[in-house]
Amino acid sequence: AQKVTQTQTSISVMEKTTVTMDCVYETQDSSYFLFWYKQTASGEIVFLIRQDSYKKENATVGHYSLNFQKPKSSIGLIITATQIEDSAVYFCAMRDNNAGAKLTFGGGTRLTVRP
């Protein structure tokens, strides 16, 4: 069974700094996909970035990048040059080939970016 754990419940950073959010996962499958989503204050859930387990290179999209450490079953999200509007709850999620289309989510990390 899949499991995703985000141990940081909340993080507060100053604007324009870099923040890293942690996520560890469990799966029995050798092929899987890892995702980060953002939930805004309005409740909207927005896809940010994805890492395929077979890829060694860390994914990067805009000011989001991933720190994929496969031996540690870890997929950290790095946000550089944070902005006030990055304040949100960030969810890590995974899907493996045995799960069909099901995404399993972590509990989320609330990020507050201070001016």
Contact residues toward another protein (CB under 8 A) are 33, 35, 37, 42-47, 50, 52, 91, 93, 95, 100-108
Nearer Cβ to another protein, position 71 or 101? 101
Nearest approach, Cβ of residue 66 and another protein (Å): 14
Nearer Cβ to another protein, position 85 or 115? 85
Tokens of 80: 């550089």
Nearest approach, Cβ of residue 90 and another protein (Å): 12
Q: Could you please report the per-residue DSSP string of 71-101?
A: GGTEEEEEE-S--GGG-EEEEEEEEEGGGTT
**Contact criterion met (CB below 8 Å) for 49 and 66:** yes
Q: Report the candidate in 54, 19, 18 with the shortest Cα–Cα distance to residue 34.
A: 54
Nearest approach, Cβ of residue 15 and another protein (Å): 27
